[in-house]
Amino acid sequence: MHSAPGAVTVAETGLTPGAVVAVARHGARVDLSDGALSAMAATRSVVDALAASPRPVYGVSTGFGALATRHISAELRTRLQHSLIRSHAAGMGPRVETEVVRALMLLRLKTLASGRTGVRPLVAEGIAALLNARVTPVVHEYGSLGCSGDLAPLSHCALVLTGEGEAEGPDGVVRPAAELLAAHGLTPVELREKEGLALVNGTDGMLGMLLLAVADLAELFTAADITAAMTLEALLGTDKVLDPALHAIRPHPGQAASADNMRRLLAGSRMTGHHQDRQPRVQDAYSVRCAPQVAGAGRDTLAHAALVAERELAAAIDNPVVLDDGRIESNGNFHGAPVGYVLDFLAIAVADLASIAERRTDRLLDPSRSHGLPAFLADDPGVDSGLMIAQYTQAALVSECKRLAAPASVDSIPSSAMQEDHVSMGWSAARKLRTAIRNLTRVLAVELVTAARATEMRTQAGSLTPAPATAVVVAALRGAGVAGPDADRFLSPELAAAEEFVRSGALTRAAAAVTGPLA
C-alpha cells in the first residue's frame, strides 16, 4: 500500500516520533502497510486456533483481571469483548485534548499493526478510518492508573470504534458515535475473541503525551537559551562564561549546546561585559552565569526521555501477546513505569528552568540589582508600575510548576481486587507535565518581554547596541503585537501575544535568521 503525499504509513516495524506528532497535532493521513496487514492476518489465525481449543487462554476464553479464573464459552465471547469496552469506558472529568486522543489512537494502531496482538486487520483499518475522518472519541481526564494500559482512555476510543459512546466530529461538535460513523460512511466494528482487550491494554496515552512533550520542550529549551542571552545582555553581563573551553572541561552535551546557542546569539553585542568597566561586579549572579548549566541539564534529561520514547515506539504492548513461535503468553509489558519515570523527570527539569528564568526576570526589574535600569522598567516609576505584576504572574506560574514537579510515579494504589496491586500512575505524570509545559511557555514569554524592554531602555539611554540576533528578536516581538517601553497600558494581551510568539516557534525562527540553526 502506498501513502499519499504527507501521509504516515503505519508498518509492522513501528513509527517515528515525528510521525506521531504529524498525525496527532497536524492531522496527517494514516495508511496501513501491506506488511502490517499480513502480520495481523497471520497472528489472527493463531488466536482463532486457540479460541477453538479447550485450553483456557487469558483474554481469549477467560474473563479479565481478577475475573480471569472464569472460562467463557464460545457463544459469549463477543459479548465478553464488548462488555469489557463498555465497563472500562468509565472515565470522568474534563475532556482530554484532541491531539492527545489522536496520539493514543495512532499508538494503539501501531501496536495492532505489529501483529503481536492477534486482532483482525479489520479492527486496525477501523481505527485508521476514524483518524482519517477526524472523528475523535471523547476521553476524560481521570480513569487511567498507568497499568494494564491506559484502560479508561483507550476504552472510550474503542467504544466509538464499535459505534457507541460520544465523539467530536471534524467540525468540533460532539455527537453520538453512531451518528458520526454513519455520517462518514464508517461501519461499527463487532469485536471477536481478544480484540476488546487488545484495544485497551497499552501505554499509548502516556506515551503519546511524552512524544508531544518532547517536541514541545525541544522548542522551549532553545527559547530559554534565547531569553537567557537577552537577559545577560540587558544586565550588561559578561559573555566570557560562554567560552567553549569552559564547557569542554565539564563535558555534558546539553550544557555545551546551550552555551553555544547563547554565545552565537550574543555575537557582536556592544552591551556585554560593560559591568567589568563601570560596576564593581567580578562575576554575574548564578541565574545568569549558570544558565547553560541548568538549561543544559534539562536538555540532557530531554535526550534521555526521547530515548525511552523511541524504545516504547519500537515496542508491541499488549497482554497476552503472540510471539514469533506462535505462542500466546501473558506478560507485564503494559506497566507504565519506564514512561512514568521520565515524565516525572521532565517535570522536574521544567520547574527548574522556569525557576531560573523567573529569577533573571526579577533581577531586571529590581533597581538595586539591574545596574542602572529604572524600577520595574517603568516609564515613570511610582506613577507607572511597569512590569511589576507581570513578574507576579510569572512567579505564580513557577510556583505551580514546583508543585507539579512532585513525582506521580512514586504513588501506587492497588486495584482490581488486589490483582493489579502496583500501578505506574504514568497517565497522571503526563497530565501534569502538559500543564507544566504550558506554564514554562508563559514564564519564558514574561522573561522575553522584560529583557526586550530592558534592552531598548539601554539603547535609548546611551550608545550601547545589542547583538544583531537579539536586536532582530526584539523587532520581531514588536511586530507580533508587544509594544516597547512607554506609559502603563493594558498588559495582558501583550503577554498573551508573547506567549504565542514563544509557543509557535516565532522566537527561535527570528533568532536563527541571524545565527543560523540553533540547537
Q: Catalytic site residues?
A: 58
Tell me how far apart the alpha carbons of residues 386 and 489 are, in angstroms, rounded to a whole number: 9
Tell me how far apart the alpha carbons of residues 30 and 1 are, in angstroms, rounded to a whole number: 11
Q: What share of the chain is helix, strand, coil (3-state, %, to 5)?
A: 60, 5, 35
User: What count of residues does the chain have?
Assistant: 519
Nearest alpha carbon to residue 503 among 451, 448, 441, 449: 441
Nearest alpha carbon to residue 121 among 109, 138, 105: 109
What one-character-per-residue DSSP string does 147-196 give? Answer: SSSSHHHHHHHHHHHTT-SEEE-TTS-EEEHHHHHHHTTPPPPPP-TTHH
- Sequence-distant (6+) residues with CB within 8 A of 14 are 110, 114, 313, 314
| Cβ atoms 199, 154 nearer than 8 A | yes
Task: Give the H/E segment covering residue 141.
Answer: strand 140-142
| Chain centre to alpha carbon of residue 278 | 44
CA angle 309, 314, 317 (to 5 degrees): 90
One-letter amino acid for residue 516 of the chain: G
For residues 196, 199, 205, 206, the Cα torsion angle rounded to the nearest 10 degrees is 90
Nearest alpha carbon to residue 131 among 107, 113, 115: 107
Nearest alpha carbon to residue 121 among 46, 229, 41, 29: 41
| Cβ atoms 119, 46 nearer than 8 A | no
